[in-house]
Amino acid sequence: MNRRQILKYSAMLTGTALCAPLTTAMLAGCSKQADIAQVSAQSTSKALYFDADDFTLLGQMMDAILPKTDTPSATEVGTDQVIDQLFAQVFEADYKTKFMANFVALQAHLHANGFATLSSAQQAEVLQTLELSANKDAAYWAYIDIKQQTLAYFLSSEQIAEQYLNYLPIPGEFKPCVAVADLGGKAWAI
């Protein structure tokens, strides 16, 4: 049995077909396409799925979720571009329709709170208030969806994996019980 067959059977047995968007984003780093950092430097008018205003709002939300600290912000590693490309090329029509209906509600909520004109700290506060709200409406679900995708694509970006997490491009021996201190205090890259 070769490696390809083992991976194929493993995917079928564990149901990883449900993780196709994340897998696609992770494998995109192996292609000869433009580097994510170069893609994120492109103007918002080059978005494939979202219009310029929606794409700008998406980037602002992502940077409020993962702002620049001692690590780059979410948009600096291209998570906004990854999500835009996935919506344009990977996600199914049913998911896109449901997401956009929720996203419109999220836009209305954010515009009502003046999100675009707020400072970074105030933007984070607006999003945190929405997340902790007892009202689980369409705006809430759109935000949760964006937050989950932001975290997943941020952690699987090449820059974060190689520079801020433990990263082995070709793993060696499997060691199941290793203390974090032995790894330099860093978690493993996805």
Q: Is 188 helix (H, G, I), strand (E, B) or coil?
A: strand
Q: Is residue 178 part of a domain?
A: no
Average pLDDT over residues 59-82: 92
Q: Is residue 183 part of a domain?
A: no
Percent helix / strand / coil, the chain, rounded to 5: 65, 0, 35
Q: Please choose, from the candidates 138, 137, 115, 142, the residue with its C-alpha nearest in 3D space to the C-alpha of residue 126.
A: 115
Q: What is the CA radius of gyration of the chain?
A: 18
Q: What letter does residue 2 receive in the DSSP assignment?
A: -
Q: Is residue 172 part of a domain?
A: no
Half-sphere exposure of 116 (CA within 13 A, CB side): 11
Q: Dihedral angle at the C-alpha atoms of 21, 26, 32, 33, nearest 10 degrees?
A: 50
Quick check: 22 pLDDT over 80?
no
Quick check: 29 pLDDT over 60?
no
Question: Which range in 3-17, 18-32, 164-178 is most confidently predicted, on average pLDDT?
Answer: 164-178
Average pLDDT over residues 70-74: 91
pLDDT at 60: 94
Average pLDDT over residues 64-83: 92
Average pLDDT over residues 172-181: 76
Q: Is 43 helix (H, G, I), strand (E, B) or coil?
A: coil
pLDDT at 14: 58
Q: Is residue 14 part of a domain?
A: yes
pLDDT at 129: 92
- The residues that bridge with 188 in the sheet, in sequence order, are 166
Least confidently predicted of 38-47, 77-86, 181-190: 38-47
Please enumerate in sequence order all residues whose Cβ is within 8 A of that of 115, keeping only pairs 6 or more positions apart, or say none: 57, 60, 123, 126
Q: Is residue 10 part of a domain?
A: yes
Q: Is residue 73 part of a domain?
A: yes
pLDDT at 17: 42
> pLDDT grade, residue 149 (50/70/90)?
very high
Q: Is residue 115 part of a domain?
A: yes
Whole-angstrom distance, CA of residue 27 vs CA of residue 118: 36
Q: How many domains does the chain have?
A: 1
In contact, 160 and 71? CB cutoff 8 Å:
yes
Q: Is residue 78 part of a domain?
A: yes
In terms of residue numbers, what domain contains 87? 3-164
pLDDT, tens digit, for every residue of 38-63? Answer: 444 444 447 889 999 999 999 999 99
Average pLDDT over residues 103-119: 93
Q: Please choose, from the candidates 34, 39, 127, the residue with its C-alpha nearest in 3D space to the C-alpha of residue 83.
A: 39
Q: Is 166 helix (H, G, I), strand (E, B) or coil?
A: strand
Whole-angstrom distance, CA of residue 40 vs CA of residue 56: 12
Average pLDDT over residues 106-134: 92
